[in-house]
Structure 1
Amino acid sequence: MTHILNFVDAINRGVANVLRWFVVAMVLVQFAIVIGRYVFGVNSIWVQESVLYLHAGLFMLAAGYTLLIDKHVRVDIFYAKVQPEIRRRIDIFGHLFLLFPSMLALLWWSWPSVRNSWKILEGPMSVGGIEAVFLLKSLIPAFCSLLLLQSFASLLRLFTHKDEA
């Protein structure tokens, strides 16, 4: 069981290691856009959309890693002030009744759009843009899958390591 949990963690850590370079690329491309536009008077919709693609990839694909390192958004009304066992129960509830259903619903409702986008190899959002909206839409099931995998691993840890909560 530990091997499976470590494997899921390794997937999200590996994805995060790749995504770190998305941040660097975003900054460099955005800098180039500003210099190109204001210094040289040159503009490219394709280059502008590349920042959008990098940004979407970064935030959609890093969600599993964010959950892994426990830096996700938490509505902390009383969570920090309660005992570890109650925190553990809140986490279990969150995984089972909030995260799992929402990710499964998102997968279910977005899949036809993603599938159709791949069928027609959906083109750019704007004239002159990146001809790969199908890749952008593919981030939705990837986001759901990475987050569900990490949630499953976290949930298993919550059930097997009760004393470490």
Structure 2
Amino acid sequence: MMRLIAGIAGVICWINWIIGQVFSWLSLGIVLVCFTVVVQRYVFAISYVWMQDLYIWLSGAMFTAVAGFALMRDDHVRVDIFYRPATVRRRALVDLVGALIFLLPFTAVVYVYSMPFVQRAWSYTEGSANVGGMPGLYILKTFIIAFAALLALQGIAMICRSILIFGGRSDLVPRRIQYPVSANDAAAAAIEGSH
């Protein structure tokens, strides 16, 4: 059973890792498009609305798609005065409670409230509200659903990690979501080793 839980966490982390690797390249596209827009506007006195839409849309796509990847890497902002120095078991408890009480309900609310919004956009293949803007806004709005799904999946991986740790099988925790060892963990391991 523990190996199955570890396998589920591993697959979820692999999915978010791949998506993170692919979509992180959009940051280069965002910089290039933004630079081009600025040069066109201030050097050549020309402007294209679709290019302005493009770098905003690329930003939206990137930040929503890589949210699960960032959660996997623990890159989200966290007030961690107590979390970082805590033991692995305490961090696992915080993550378990946080995922069950906050993260998964949040992603469910985002999904439920955004689905009609996205479906409406797809129903008439919504484009930019700006004249001369980009078509395909309905595709960008679909990233809201992807955001909720990828965050929820990573929340499930966090729950799996917590279960593995509480079950005494931290050796099965996928490498991508292992906790760094804190000073408290090193001290606890030293005490256990001396007995």
> TM-score interval w.r.t. the shorter chain?
over 0.9
Unaligned stretches of 5+ residues in structure 2: 171-178, 180-195
Mapped to 1, the partners of 2:17 and 2:69 lie a distance apart of 6
| Secondary structure of 2:25 counterpart | helix
What percent of counterpart residues are identical? 34
C-alpha deviation, 1:100, in angstroms: 0.4
How far residue 77 of structure 1 moved from its aligned partner, in angstroms, is 4.1
Q: Which residue of 1 aligns with 2:8?
A: 4
The size of the alignment, in residue pairs, is: 165
For 2:92, give the aligned amino acid: R
Q: Tell me, yes or no, if structure 1 residue 116 matches structure 2 residue 120.
A: yes
3-state SS of the aligned residue for 1:125?
coil
Q: TM-score, normalised by structure 2?
A: 0.79
CA contact (8 A) 1:125 1:133 kept: no
Match of 2:72 in 1: 68
Q: Map 1:13-162 to 2 at 5 A.
A: 13-162=17-166
Note the alpha carbon deviations across 1:44-86, whole angstroms, 9 max, x for none. Answer: 1100110011100111110100111111222324222433322
Q: Distance in 1 between matches of 2:105 and 2:24?
A: 29
Where do 5+ consecutive residues of structure 1 fail to align? Answer: none
C-alpha contact 1:19 1:58 (8 A) present in aligned 2: yes
2: distance between equivalents of 1:157 and 1:80? 17
For residues 46 and 117 of structure 1, the distance between their equivalents in structure 2, rounded to whole angstroms, comes to 18
Q: How large is the RMSD of aligned CA atoms in angstroms?
A: 1.4
1:158 CA drift (Å): 1.0
- Report the 3-state secondary structure (helix = DSSP H, G, I; strand = E; otherwise coil) of the residue aligned with 1:161: helix
